[in-house]
Amino acid sequence: MFTPERHQYILQRLAEHGRVSIAELARELDVSDDTVRRDLRVLEKLGGLQKTHGGAVCLDLPKTARRARNALLQPVKQALGRCAANYPAAGSVLFIDAGSTVLEVARQLPRHPYTVITHSLDVAACLSEREEIALHLAGGAWDGRQRLFNGTTAEAFVRRFCADWAILGACAVDTGVGVTASEASDAEIKRGMLAASRQALLVADHSKFARHEPHWVAQLSRFDAVITDRAPYDAGQDSHFVVPDLQE
């Protein structure tokens, strides 16, 4: 098993159980205790966990620093991006949300014409040199931590458009409560994109599930598909959840 695969495995075990032990991980991964200790040191520096005597405990992944979040679960996010990028037809008008997972969707959009509306500077920079894409970047109040524009100006800008697809990320997803956001401005932008779109995709890795934040966005039924690496345990036979092959 390669190092990125071990890191992904460790993070998955932390998300499921809240804590891990070095001895258990060494046995499950068939590596030495020292290898596991090195892996835990790397993940601790990224902000994904806190080392303890003999193991590690999970930190709140959605609230870690942006650079750390971007580094965590990167192979998973790339697979989710590949899957989501195949949904919109050529010529579609797309709202693309901010965040490291939906940024992967933007990176992997096929070389077709699209109109893209976003408030994310990273999404805009990713698509800025693609001549076949008509790009619209919302202005407003700059959030340097999340690298996006928000506030009333950005919200009004979004409401000027009508899109075929809204492609959203999430701070938190609960099968009962739905999608929620940690900040009111983020929730408002997301709701605006959904209100002005015919169809919608939610793209979120498993670390966002079984949790909720203060600001409500939408029920899961609003989305035509929820693209994730692992459906939540209480999803049942819900056909909204799409789990791509991570090995593609």
- Residue 64 maps to a domain: no
236, 115: one domain: yes
Angle at 153 between CA 149 and CA 155, to 5 degrees: 80
Question: What's the mean per-residue pLDDT of the chain?
Answer: 89
- pLDDT computed for residue 238 by the predictor: 63
20, 119: one domain: no
Tokens found for residue 81: 């991006």
- Residue 65 maps to a domain: no
Query: Of the candidates 129, 79, 127, 91, which has an alpha carbon nearest to the alpha carbon of residue 106?
Result: 127
Tokens found for residue 147: 């690298």
183, 222: one domain: yes
pLDDT digit string, tens, across residues 168-204: 999 999 988 999 999 999 999 999 999 999 999 999 9
pLDDT digit string, tens, across residues 115-156: 999 999 999 999 999 999 999 999 999 998 889 999 999 999
Quote the CA–CA distance of 118 and 138 in Å, as a whole number: 6
- pLDDT computed for residue 185 by the predictor: 94
140, 198: one domain: yes
Domain boundary among 40, 59, 78: 59
In terms of residue numbers, what domain contains 152? Answer: 70-242
121, 52: one domain: no
CATH number for the domain spanning 28: value is: 1.10.10.10
Q: What is the mean pLDDT of residues 39-65?
A: 78
- pLDDT computed for residue 112 by the predictor: 97
- pLDDT computed for residue 210 by the predictor: 83
85, 47: one domain: no
115, 180: one domain: yes
138, 158: one domain: yes
Phi first, then psi, for residue 112 (nearest 5°) are -120, 165
- Given a cut of 90, is residue 113 above it in pLDDT? yes
Unique residue bearing structure tokens 């994904």: 48
- Residue 119 maps to a domain: yes
Q: What is the mean pLDDT of residues 18-47?
A: 90
Quote the CA–CA distance of 25 and 31 in Å, as a whole number: 8
Q: Which residue has the higher pLDDT, 99 or 211?
A: 99
55 forms bridges with which residues in the sheet?
21, 52
35, 96: one domain: no
217, 112: one domain: yes
Q: Point out the least confidently predicted range of 160-169, 204-213, 232-241.
A: 232-241
- Residue 135 maps to a domain: yes
Angle at 67 between CA 62 and CA 68, to 5 degrees: 55
H or E segment to which residue 21 belongs? strand 19-21
- pLDDT computed for residue 230 by the predictor: 84
Q: Point out the least confidently predicted range of 182-191, 203-212, 233-242.
A: 233-242
- Residue 248 maps to a domain: no
| Band of pLDDT at residue 9, cut at 50, 70 and 90 | confident
- Residue 25 maps to a domain: yes
CATH number for the domain spanning 170: value is: 3.40.50.1360
| Total domain count, the chain | 2
110, 28: one domain: no
- Given a cut of 70, is residue 247 above it in pLDDT? no
Domain boundary among 36, 59, 82: 59
- Residue 247 maps to a domain: no
Quote the CA–CA distance of 212 and 163 in Å, as a whole number: 27
47, 10: one domain: yes
